[in-house]
Amino acid sequence: MGQNYGIAVPPAHGGAPHRAPARYLVLIDAGGPTVARLFLATREPVAEFDAGSEEVAVMTQGLVPARGADGPEWDRALEGHSADERAAAEVYTLDV
């Protein structure tokens, strides 16, 4: 029987690199409700959640959004959204 009283020693931290931080927050209509979508600098999607959540208010505090995500750089990232939804989207560039 061990002398550690059943509490295991946590393993050493791995040397794996951290995930890249999200660079863009896009608030966009999704056929009814507005959703918040997080993207990396490469426009790769990271997360999607309700735009009315408290986290959105915290992330956007003091930031001014760009209106519209209808440029070619957003074509692949927002391909499931209509042209009208993309034109009305608010794009926040997050401080990294």
| 25 DSSP assignment | E
Nearest CA to 68 out of 81, 87, 92 is that of 87
Q: Write down the pLDDT at residue 13.
A: 81
- For 36-56, the pLDDT digits (tens) are 999 999 999 999 999 999 999
- Predicted local distance difference test score (pLDDT) of residue 15: 78
Q: CA-CA distance, 41 to 48, in Å (whole number)?
A: 16
Instruction: Tell me, yes or no, whether 31 lies in a domain.
Output: yes
What's the number of domains the chain is made of?
A: 1
Whether 55 maps to a domain, the answer reads yes
Residue 67 lies in a domain: yes
Judged against a pLDDT cut of 70, whether residue 76 lies above it is answered with yes
The answer to the question of residue 3 being in a domain is: no
Q: Is residue 19 part of a domain?
A: no
Model confidence, pTM: 0.80
Q: Looking at the domain assignment, is residue 15 inside a domain? A: no
Domain holding 34, by residue range, is: 24-93
Rounded distance, CA 70 to CA 55, Å?
25
Whole-angstrom distance, CA of residue 96 vs CA of residue 24: 10
